Amino acid sequence: MTTTSSPIEHGLVDDAPAAPEGVEPLQPTMPGVAYTAADYFAAEQASLFEAEWMCAVRSSDLAAPGAFERVQIGRESVLIVRGRDGGLRAFLNICRHRGAMLCTEDSGQVRRNLQCPYHAWTYGLDGRLIAAPNMAAIDIDGSLDRQQYGLVPVHLREWLGYAWVCLADEPPSFEDTVIGSVTERLGSSDTVERYGATDLVVAHRQVYDVAANWKLIIENFMECYHCATIHPELTEVLPEFAQGLAAQYHVGHGAEFGSEIDGFTVDGHEGFGRLPGLTEAEDRRYFAITVRPGVFLNLVPDHVIVHRMFPLAPDRTTVICDWLFAPGIEGVESSVELFHRVNVQDFEACERTQPAMSSRAYRNGGVLVPAEHHILDFHEWVTERVGPPH
Ligand code: FES
Ligand code: FE
């Protein structure tokens, strides 16, 4: 099997779809400033990352009571903690006394409580203030409201084995936004459940520090116009991707494995069969789903790949990618290698694009070809919430 491919071999240009009648074939992208300006990024932090549901941690990473992880959501440091009752909770990672950052490690394990490293105010795993030095002088008659001076809670929901958090006072409906976007893409609400992602285990995790704006990463993920050029391994496994049609975004459509392909692996050799809940319709198929603003989900017969994005600056995004397999499976290297290569290829492309965002050549943006026109929906979604870039 060859591992190279080229746009010409795959007839990319000739096979590309035309724009519908009356629609200009070249549509504008957002202007460069939307990808570089500190004030636009700050507006996105406020109106998107701190307003929508963000996928924060893999629940099973916080197995025992006292296990914690902190994540950056918009401008806030958020702490996710496993409680003594077994539940997960999220709090702002800020001491209520004089505001010291409570947990300075990215993850860890405490025994029974969380103690501020500054003046030692101490909080239970449920966030309540439970002790402070000289407490008798603070709580003279024992009436101090420990909840009121407890850690500030953050909304949390668990789904697909992940804890999702939302910083909004009144979060948007999780069912309508997160679950709704998956359902809309797959054409049914139970397809994703059949993969059983909650009970799969993280066989591999890769953290990518990408020097690119988060929107470039989403836009790249949403289109397949680049697939024939930069993804030789992926287009071998999924020949229709070489046509650049973005067929992965048609409702209910999963890209079919090539006839010579035995599994979703770097060289197309056999993987691990299919997950127990799957039907014939999901076998030998790849589904890609974007959950705005920060998750990409990939479903293949024997595993699930979940990307969580954490936009840190206009030109910097951390992407954490988990490969989830059935428990007990070993030897996943060639399965992992396929999408790891795809990730590296994609993120390098995004990094090559980022410097151009501040060039005068991109002052008014670039253009989207017909196979990329669905990206306009994403731009509209952003500008509706954040406002137009200026
Ligand atoms: Fe945390 Fe003082 S700032 S105890
Ligand atoms: Fe790609």
Task: Compute the distance between CA of residue 216 and CA of residue 207 in angstroms, rounded to an integer.
Answer: 18
Ligand 1 atom showing the smallest separation from residue 102 Cα: 1
d(CA 148, ligand 1 centre) in Å: 15
Within a 10 A sphere around the Cβ of 36, how many other Cβ atoms?
A: 20
Calculate the dihedral angle through the C-alpha atoms of 145, 149, 152, 155, rounding to the nearest 10 degrees: -10
Is residue 48 within 8 A of residue 382, CB to CB? The reply is yes
Ligand nearest to the CA of 296: 2
pLDDT tens digits, 211-232: 999 999 999 999 999 999 999 9
Task: Compute the distance between CA of residue 281 and CA of residue 284 in angstroms, rounded to an integer.
Answer: 8
d(CA 103, ligand 2 centre) in Å: 36
pLDDT tens digits, 254-272: 899 999 999 999 999 999 9
Q: Which residues of the chain fall below pLDDT 70?
A: 1-17, 245-249
Give the binding-site residues of ligand 1, using a 6 Å CB cut-off.
95, 97-100, 116, 118-121
Residue whose CA is at the smallest distance from ligand 1 atom 3: 98
User: What pTM was computed for the model?
Assistant: 0.93
pLDDT tens digits, 112-154: 999 999 999 999 999 999 999 999 899 899 898 888 999 999 9
Residue whose CA is at the smallest distance from ligand 1 atom 2: 119
Quick one: residue 286, left, alpha or beta (phi over 0 = left, psi -120 to 50 = alpha)? Answer: beta
* Residue 238: both structure tokens together: 């999924």
Whole-number pLDDT of residue 8: 33
Q: Which CATH fold would you assign to the domain 7-50+176-386?
A: Naphthalene 1,2-dioxygenase Alpha Subunit; Chain A, domain 1 (3.90.380)
Task: Compute the distance between CA of residue 160 and CA of residue 178 in angstroms, rounded to an integer.
Answer: 11
d(CA 344, ligand 2 centre) in Å: 9
Ligand 1 atom showing the smallest separation from residue 116 Cα: 1
Domain residue spans of the chain: 7-50+176-386, 55-157
DSSP codes joined into one string, 172-232: PPHIIIIIHHHHHHHTSSSHHHHT-GGG-EEEEEEEEEE-S-HHHHHHHHH--TTHHHH-H
**Ligand 1 probe mutation, 94, 103, 116, most atoms within 8 A of CB:** 116
Place of tokens 């974007």: 290
Ligand nearest to the CA of 344: 2
**Which element (helix H / strand E) includes 305?**
strand 303-313
| Nearest by Cα to 351 from 214, 243, 210, 227 | 210
For domain 55-157, the question of CATH label 2.102.10.10 is answered with: yes
d(CA 343, ligand 2 centre) in Å: 7
Residues counted in the chain:
390
* Residue 349: both structure tokens together: 């492309």
d(CA 233, ligand 2 centre) in Å: 11
Ligand 1 atom showing the smallest separation from residue 95 Cα: 1
* Residue 81: both structure tokens together: 């903690």
Distance of CA 372 to the CA centre of its chain: 21
